[in-house]
Structures are given as C-alpha cells and as structure tokens.
A and B are shown apart, each in its own frame.
Chain A
Amino acid sequence: MLIYLLRRIMQSGFVLVAMSLLVFLGVYAVGDPIEILISPDADQIEKERAIQALGLDLPLWQQYLVFVGKALQGDLGRSFVFNEPAIQLILQRMPATLELAFGSMFLSILIGLPLGLYAGLRPNGAISKGIMAGSILGFSLPTFWVGLMLIMVFAVQLGWLPSTGRGDTAMLFGISWSFLTGDGLSHILLPAINLALFKISLVIRLTRAGVRETMLMDYVKFARAKGLSPFRVTFVHVFKNILIPVVTVVGLELGGTIAFSVVTESVFAWPGMGKLIIDSINVLDRPVIVAYLMMIVLMFIVINLLVDIVYTVLDPRVRLEAKA
C-alpha cells in the first residue's frame, strides 16, 4: 500500500511537469497579453517597462524556468490584472465552486441512485420508462438553457428562489460558506440543480445498467436460492456490486464539475472559480490561467487516487500493489 502510494505520487509528479509544459506553451500561443493590458495610447518606453516588469522580455524557456522555480516555492505568479498572487485569487473563489460542485454531486446521487435502482429492478414498468426518457432529456438539454428556464420559472414567475449570488454566508474554518445558512441554501439550490441535471441522468443510466447486469449473475440467483429477502438481495448483494462503476464516474464527474462549472456559474452569477477563469481568459491574464489549470490537474490526480482507494473498500479483488 505504502509503496503503491509513493509510486503514485511519483507518477503524479511527472504528470504535473508534463502538464505545466503544455499549459505554459498553450497559453503562450493564445496571444500577447501586452496588447490587451496596456492602453493603446502608451508610448514605447512605458510599454517596454511593462514588458520587463511582467518578465515577458525573456525567451520562452527562461520564462518557463522562472515559472517552475517560483512554482516550487508555492508561488504561481501574480495576476496581471488584480496584481495579487494568482493562487490567492483562485483560493478565494474556490469555496463557492466547491460547495456548488458537492451540492450538485449530492443531489445527483440522492436522486440518481434510487431512480436508477428502480428502473433497473422494473425495466418494463411505465414509471421506469418515464425515468429513462427523462434521463435522455437530462443528457441532451443544454446547461445554459436549463439554467435560464430554472430562473424563469422558479425565480421570476414563481418567485420561490433567488437567482443570483451566494446569499448570506457563515464562517467555518475561516472560510465563508453558503450552505450553512438558510438564505445561502436557497441561493445554492437552483445552480446546484442546474449542474446536477446531467449527472443525475448519468447516475440513473449507470445504476440501471449495473442493476440489470448484476441481476442476471449467478450469485444473485444463488442469494435468492438461499432464501434471502428481496430487500437483502437488492441492497446488499446487488447494490455493492453496482457501486464500483458509479464511484468511478461520479469521482471523475466531481473533478469536471469543480473545474468546468463555468456556464452555470455565469448564468447564476455565482462568484466561483469558473467565472474567474472566464474573465482571466478574456483579458489573457496568463498567471491566473496557468495557476488555475495547474490546480485542476492536481485536483484530478488527487480525485483519481481517492477513487482507486475507494475501490479497494468496495471490491476486495482490487489490490493497490505492484503494477499500478
């Protein structure tokens, strides 16, 4: 186990290095931030000074080395726009995105698993067919449109829920969270539903497929032949087996949600990381973009590792050893 973890951490290091190169080159290719950052009226000397101050006069490989050197000390650069450390900017926005992502994840499991289970156990029932048809909608409706519709119906017409911002927040561990106050919860509900819709459909389909496959296994029939109650057969024998694919996908989806909930955050004016990255891309704020992408890479690595560890709990045949 320990050896496995060490090896995983080393592998992760390589991934990080490779990604930093890619990200750095990619951002470099996107465009010259000077054109955007400096007013067109500035004279040549001012321009030169700005370029030097931002370290943009060095050749690319030197810029990269400077970046790596500083990154190793925990400094991912200062934002050109805010003149604040990029990492600090991102961390400020992170709690908002995290609670939104986890909220939507929670909803998708809370709703998706039972519905998928039901649809899997009664594949021919009318309700099951309704659930499956609904899940197709969840897959195919574009997020921004659903977001707008949610605002239209629940915020504008019914007036039940607020449509923008985080609402009241409460402090926990020195960070402000929305989900700790009633007002904050009412603010988080609509964007979380919006973000969860696709994932609910995904979990429904995965669960249903898993149940249908598992129900045909000999060990399920054997469990029934032992005279176990249908409840125990379903919730112990079948359920534990379908959790493996669900955990995999939910884990990866969680990463995706944290990293790329841009659309939902924009629609609901949710002050999270997604909005920050979109704004930074618009003004070519390189340090923020690079820092953001690096953090996302790190996050995916960590989530993958956690998912692998959860596997060993769920499936005794998985051993975290030697060949990883």
Chain B
Amino acid sequence: MNTLEVKGLSTHFFTRAGVVRAVEDVSFTVGRGKVMGLVGESGSGKTVTGFSVIGLVDAPGRIVSGEILFKGRNLVGMGEEELRDLRGNRIAMIFQDPMMTLNPVLRVDTQMIETVQAHQKVDRETARQRARDTLGMVGIPSPDERLKSYPHQFSGGMRQRVAIAIALLHQPDLIIADEPTTALDVTIQGQILAEVQKLAANTGTSLIWITHDLSVVAGLADDIAVMYAGRIVEQGSVDQVLDVPFHPYTHGLIGSVPSRNKRGVALRQIPGTTPSLMSLPPGCAFKTRCERADGACETMPALAELAPGRFARCVHPHLETLPA
C-alpha cells in the first residue's frame, strides 16, 4: 500500500479580500520509502499542501475538497484527536527556518521528551534515553550534554538536526520536510541531505521534500511534482522530468539553474512574476509568462499523461525534446 495518496486536494483561504485558492486539485502518491520532491516558487502552494497533509491549515484556510489517504485512512474530515495522534507520531514535519522552529525558552530535552510522551506512555527517563539516542543518530556530538542546552546555544545546522531528530523520534511513516535546508550553508545542506537520505532508506520512511531548489531534488527525490499557482503543472520521475521537461514552466526553471555547461551564456529567466492567487485569470495560470501561449491557453488544460508515468498540464508541451 502506498504511504500517501493525495487525490484532488483543494485548500482555500477565505480572507476578507477574497478567496485565495492556495492549493487547487492537487493529486500525488508517495510510495513506502520513496522521496517525492514538491517544487515551486514562493506562493505556489507547496507549503500549504504540506500543512494540508498534516492537518495544520489554520483559519481562514481550510481543505475544501479532495482526499488525503494515509495508509488507506482518509485524513480529510478526521477528528482533531485522531489527527493529533498521527502528528509527530506517524506523520512528522520539519520546518524551513531552524532558528524559529524550536521554542527559545524551553530546553532541548523538554522539547524532545514531550514529543515522546505525547504519543507513548513511557516514563521520563526512557523518553530521555530515546531523545539522546535520536540526537546521536542525526550526528549531534555528545548528545547527553546537548540535551540540557537551550536552542540558542546551537548553530543553525545543529538546530535543524535537532528538529530532524524530533521528527524521527517515533520513526514515522512519512516526513514532510518544508525547505529544511534552504536556510543553511551549502556544506551543512549537503550533510543534512545525505543524513536524511540514509535515514529514509534505513527506516522505510517516506518523504515529501518541499523545495524551490531543483538541484536538491535532483540528488534526493524519486519523483517530482512541479507546482505553479496552486496546481501541479508537471509530474513524473525525477530523472525524466529534469532531463526532458514537458511544461514550459519546468523548462524555464531548469534553464534558470546555473551549471558548468552554460558558462559564459546568460542564464535564461522566466519573465514576469507569479500571478496573485486571489485573481487568477481563466485558463492556464502560466500563460502570461509563457512564450508558447496563444488563444488555446484560455481554457485550463487538464493534467494529461503525455508519456508513460509523465504528466503535464499544458496545451503546448515541449514534446519535441522527447527522444523518439
């Protein structure tokens, strides 16, 4: 059974200024032990997708339709107590900014032990040992002493390791990682990526890795979903999508990544900015920035399977690059 199946998920925010369609008709599947990269610019709805899965969409937002099947159980409409029991236990989340994720006035041991005890009836000492072992597992030296520290006594990279350790405490089936390496140095980023990959492989944990960094996804993920303005515009296995992108947006994203082969050549940019989610034009949301757009783009294209296992939502996909 797949760890997670999201079907037709829509999450909207009902603000005074209007309805923000942050996530619209999003579907994807994450198999056991698989890593799924969720890619997009700021405001494309990838973070809200993550929060929808873990059931932490705050008012004025709410899931308006769709199903989130976690090991076959639908999380949409599930009671708060049941959800709370899954959170941090079977589904864990790692946040973007490690400087902000840990409570500044509570010691690390407090923040770890409470997580253990929230889901298991164990005494403090057992919980503490579990916390210590997990800290050691994510590469924090002398975890016994570090448990007594406060978050401000850690560097950013170390704090993110603590957050990852907290996510791992119950060996969850699914971890939602929301740009966990974006705020870190490149070297630290590399270490953390390697750790996470190893841990996921060892424990069979599935990962949703939310990022805007294609190079991270390239090295880490099995599958990829590219989001734009709340919808998935392209989906498939990571190698295929990055090698042969169908959607002009994916094309643009890949073109804007610097690489050694393109030395001396100006990087391609995607002109314009993401449209406001509150006043999306009818049809394809990318058409105002797309060089291929024409009258046919005035109606929203469906997410179509253009090649086996390859989906794209485009009227004029880059099919010519497909090897014959």
Contacts and interface: CB of A to CB of B under 8 A. Distances in A.
Interface stretch (B6-14, B80-88, B248-256): B80-88
A8 interface: no
Nearest to A224: B56
A141 B105 CA distance: 37
Contacts of B102: 219, 222
Interface residues of A, number: 22
Interface string A181-220: 0000000000000000000000000000000000001111
A176 to B, nearest CB: 41
Contact of A227 (B96, B97, B115): B115
Contact of A317 (B100, B107, B150, B166): B150
Contact of B105 (A220, A222, A316): A316
A219 B99 CA distance: 9
Contacts of B114: 226, 228, 232, 236
A93 interface: no
11 contacts: A218-B100, A222-B93, A225-B54, A225-B87, A226-B87, A226-B92, A232-B114, A232-B118, A236-B106, A237-B106, A314-B105
Contact of B101 (A218, A228, A316): A218
Interface string A225-255: 1111100100011001100000000000000
A51 B316 CA distance: 104
Contacts of A240: 103, 105-106
B174 to A, nearest CB: 12
B124 interface: no
A227 B87 contact: yes
Contacts, number: 76
Contact of B86 (A224, A227, A229): A227
A222 B112 CA distance: 12
Which of B56, B103, B150: most chain A CB closer than 10 A? Answer: B103
Nearest to B93: A225
Given A219-B104, A232-B114, A316-B105, 16 more contacts: A218-B97, A219-B102, A219-B103, A226-B87, A226-B92, A226-B115, A226-B166, A227-B85, A227-B86, A236-B106, A237-B103, A237-B106, A315-B104, A315-B105, A316-B150, A317-B152
Contacts of A229: 84, 118
Contacts of B97: 218
A155 interface: no
A236 B95 CA distance: 20
Nearest to B99: A218
A314 B150 CA distance: 12
Given A218-B97, A316-B152, A317-B152, A225 B56 contact: yes
Contacts of A298: none
Which of A227, A236, A241: most chain B CB closer than 10 A? Answer: A227
A241 B87 CA distance: 23
Interface string B70-95: 00000000000000111111001101
Which of B84, B100, B114, B118: most chain A CB closer than 10 A? Answer: B114
Contacts of B89: 227
Taking chain A's interface residues, is the majority helix, strand, or loop, or is none over half, making it mixed? helix
Nearest to A225: B93
B119 interface: yes
A273 to B, nearest CB: 37
A227 B89 CA distance: 7
B84 A317 contact: no
Contacts of B92: 225-226
A217 B87 contact: no
Nearest to B107: A316
Given A227-B87, A315-B104, A222 B163 contact: yes
Contact of B100 (A219, A224, A315): A219
A185 to B, nearest CB: 36
A218 B163 CA distance: 12
B105 A228 contact: no
A221 interface: yes
Nearest to A240: B105
A217 B95 CA distance: 12
Interface string A294-324: 0000000000000000000011110000000
A240 B150 CA distance: 14
Interface in A95-133: none
A315 B101 CA distance: 16
B141 to A, nearest CB: 21
A227 B95 CA distance: 15
